């Protein structure tokens, strides 16, 4: 095997083909054109049923009952604290963690990790609850999404 044949093989060409730099535009077009098969396609008319108008409860009422069963996570935050890992490891039973919120300050109410309201802690039938004192306006909620 000669050197130029070896070079052609390493470049992905066999010895009978022209080198890429010697190929003309007409040669490339000729090689790309393949015999075109003529295929018959048939089309038919689509038939659609008439749309029926549904009755609504009231003229502007929208039925949103389907969203009533979507689960939400409600969280009431008493306060927050930041600490180093070393401080965390020293915590034990009876340790006190100082929160960055003052006593009597309203608690934050989150729904799916979004602040929705503020409120005060109450006890109802020996269980904790929260009385909502301030609900975040829709404009403020939308502003926080940006």
Mean pLDDT, all residues of the chain: 78
**pLDDT digit string, tens, across residues 101-134:** 888 899 999 999 889 999 999 999 999 899 999 9
**pLDDT at position 140:** 82
**pLDDT at position 85:** 95
Is this model's pTM higher than 0.85 or not? no
**pLDDT at position 54:** 63
* Residue of 79, 118, 136 lying closest to 102 (CA atoms): 79
d(CA 55, CA 63): 11
**pLDDT at position 6:** 64
* Mean pLDDT in residue range 89-98: 93
Q: Of all residues in the chain, what percent carry a pLDDT higher than 90? A: 34
d(CA 25, CA 83): 71
**Sign of the dihedral through C-alpha 48, 49, 50, 55:** negative
d(CA 34, CA 27): 13
**pLDDT at position 18:** 46
**pLDDT digit string, tens, across residues 19-45:** 445 656 666 566 555 555 556 677 778
**pLDDT digit string, tens, across residues 34-89:** 555 556 677 778 787 887 766 655 545 567 777 888 999 999 998 999 999 999 99
φ, ψ (nearest 5 deg) of residue 117: -155, 175
The pairing of beta strand 127-135 with beta strand 114-124: antiparallel
pLDDT of 14 over the 60 cut: no
Ordered domains of the chain (ranges, CATH):
3-30 (no CATH), 66-145 (2.30.330.10)
């Amino acid at each position: 095997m000669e050197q130029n044949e070896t070079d052609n093989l390493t470049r992905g060409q066999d010895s009978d083909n022209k080198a890429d730099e010697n190929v003309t535009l007409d040669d490339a077009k000729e090689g790309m054109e393949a015999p075109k098969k003529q295929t018959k396609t048939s089309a038919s008319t689509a038939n659609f049923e008439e749309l029926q108008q549904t009755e609504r409860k009231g003229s502007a009422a929208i039925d949103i009952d389907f969203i009533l069963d979507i689960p939400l996570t409600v969280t009431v935050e008493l306060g927050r604290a930041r600490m180093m890992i070393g401080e965390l490891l020293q915590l034990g039973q009876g340790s006190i963690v100082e929160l960055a919120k003052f006593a009597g300050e309203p608690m934050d109410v989150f729904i799916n990790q979004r602040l929705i309201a503020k409120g005060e802690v109450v006890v109802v039938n020996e269980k904790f609850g929260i009385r909502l004192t301030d609900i975040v306006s829709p404009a403020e909620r939308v502003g926080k999404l940006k």
